């Protein structure tokens, strides 16, 4: 009963948040940006000020979503976004990913669909900030390079759209084109949401049973020169960088990120004060040998995993023992559960 009431509240609260988002876009267009157009600023200065206004508006929107219980989130290594001229590339699991990145980044520029310039709720921010529109190929790349060289931070989702529910990635070459032809490093951001929400093709009111938790993980810069062969021309280098990014966001890194999250959950849920997540070997046994957990720890960890990932620990004794063998086996179990949920 309590769970159903909580879910009903989050449906209403989500509707409230997105209504406020739309009204906020109109307020920026009709009230804020006309005022910011009055001072005798240069066009570049006016766009920077408008970008700051959107930055703070998105921060307020995230605060509202957390305050009313729609989401919660954690940002890791946020200081890496406090620089200028960053080419930020991120995966795109949900509708509000761009809100996170612009809220966390000053002078954030981004590539937006040309249709947003005709939408009454988004037209104001898109035109006032000078966001790059994707209505031209080669010119769009040049506009992005110019924005980065002017000191803006460019946010790009290489997929071009939200990730499908099955988790398969198909990256476009835009980000790689900008990086290779402009000579920029990439600042990768991995966004995870558990349980998944606001995915591609999913209605906003289809809220999950539990309150979603976002993790925004800002990783170390990637030198694109290390991703392509030294003798590759630009076209070949763009293809190689795109393939490397696909592997980065969907391959071994995704597994490592999940394993790190499980290690942190083990330490926090079992109050292992003398153990750091980095001290836990992903392949080492969790019980008896290795970390040395016992049956009481297994029960507490099982409850924590069920609460955090929505997995069920039911099954025969041998199957449960196999799942709890190590962090790696727990990560494989969670991954399999996510795949089942996506295909359901």
Q: Which H helix or E strand runs over 74? A: strand 72-76
pLDDT for the residue numbered 3: 72
The sheet carrying 108-112 orders its strands as: 72-76, 213-218, 186-194, 87-90, 153-156, 108-112, 132-133
- Predicted local distance difference test score (pLDDT) of residue 1: 64
Q: CA 142 to CA 197: how far, in whole Å?
A: 34
Q: State how far the Cα of 198 lies from the Cα of 297, in Å rounded to an integer.
A: 34
Provide the pLDDT for residue 83.
Answer: 95
Cβ–Cβ < 8 Å for 278, 264: no
Tens of pLDDT, residues 159-173: 988 888 767 788 999
User: Omega before 195 cis (within 30°)?
Assistant: yes
The three state secondary structure string of 21-70 is HHHHHHHHHHHHHHHHCCCCCCHHHHHHHHHHHHHHHHHHHHHHHHHCCC
By the 8 A CB rule, do 304 and 269 touch? Answer: yes
Looking at residue 165, the DSSP 8-state letter turns out to be T
Q: What is the pLDDT of residue 185?
A: 96
pLDDT reported for residue 79: 96
Residues β-bridged to residue 186: 87, 222
What the chain holds in terms of domains, given with CATH numbers, is: 2-248 (3.40.1130), 257-343 (1.10.1200.10)
- Tokens 């924590």 correspond to what residue? 304
pLDDT reported for residue 343? 61
CA distances from 322 to 7, 262, 327 (A): 33, 16, 11
Residues of the chain with pLDDT under 50: none
C-beta pairs of 220-226 under 8 Å, 24+ apart in sequence? 220/80, 221/80, 221/185, 221/186, 221/187, 222/185, 222/186, 222/187, 222/188, 222/248, 223/185, 224/176, 224/179, 224/180, 224/184, 224/185, 224/186
pLDDT at 63: 98
């Amino acid at each position: 009963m309590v769970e159903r009431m909580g879910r009903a509240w989050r449906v209403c609260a989500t509707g409230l948040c997105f209504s406020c988002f739309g009204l906020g876009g109109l307020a920026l267009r009709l009230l804020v940006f006309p005022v910011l157009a009055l001072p005798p600023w240069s066009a570049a200065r006016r766009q920077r000020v408008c970008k700051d206004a959107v930055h703070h508006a998105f921060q307020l929107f995230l605060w509202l979503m957390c305050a009313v219980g729609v989401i919660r989130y954690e940002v890791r290594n946020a200081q890496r976004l406090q620089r200028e001229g960053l080419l930020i590339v991120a995966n795109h699991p949900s509708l509000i990913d761009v809100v996170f990145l612009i809220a966390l980044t000053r002078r954030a520029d981004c590539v937006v669909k040309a249709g947003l310039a005709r939408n009454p709720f988004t037209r104001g921010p898109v035109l006032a900030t000078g966001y790059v529109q994707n209505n031209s190929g080669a010119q769009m790349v040049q506009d992005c390079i110019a924005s980065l060289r002017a000191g803006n931070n460019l946010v790009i989702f290489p997929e071009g759209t939200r990730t499908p529910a099955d988790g398969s990635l198909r990256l476009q070459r835009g980000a790689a084109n900008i990086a290779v032809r402009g000579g920029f490093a990439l600042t990768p951001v991995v966004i995870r949401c558990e349980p998944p929400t606001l995915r591609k093709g999913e209605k906003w009111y289809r809220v999950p049973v539990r309150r979603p938790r976002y993790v925004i993980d800002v990783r170390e810069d990637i030198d694109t020169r290390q991703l392509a062969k030294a003798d590759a021309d630009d076209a070949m280098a763009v293809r190689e960088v795109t393939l490397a990014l696909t592997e980065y966001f969907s391959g071994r890194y995704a597994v490592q990120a999940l394993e790190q999250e499980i290690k942190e959950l083990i330490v926090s849920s079992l109050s292992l004060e003398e153990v750091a997540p980095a001290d836990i070997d992903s392949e080492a046994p969790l019980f008896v040998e290795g970390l040395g957990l016992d049956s009481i720890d297994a029960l507490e960890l099982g409850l924590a995993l069920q609460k955090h990932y929505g997995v069920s620990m039911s099954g025969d004794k041998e199957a449960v023992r196999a799942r709890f063998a190590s962090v790696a086996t727990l990560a494989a179990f969670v991954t399999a559960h996510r795949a089942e949920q996506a295909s359901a």
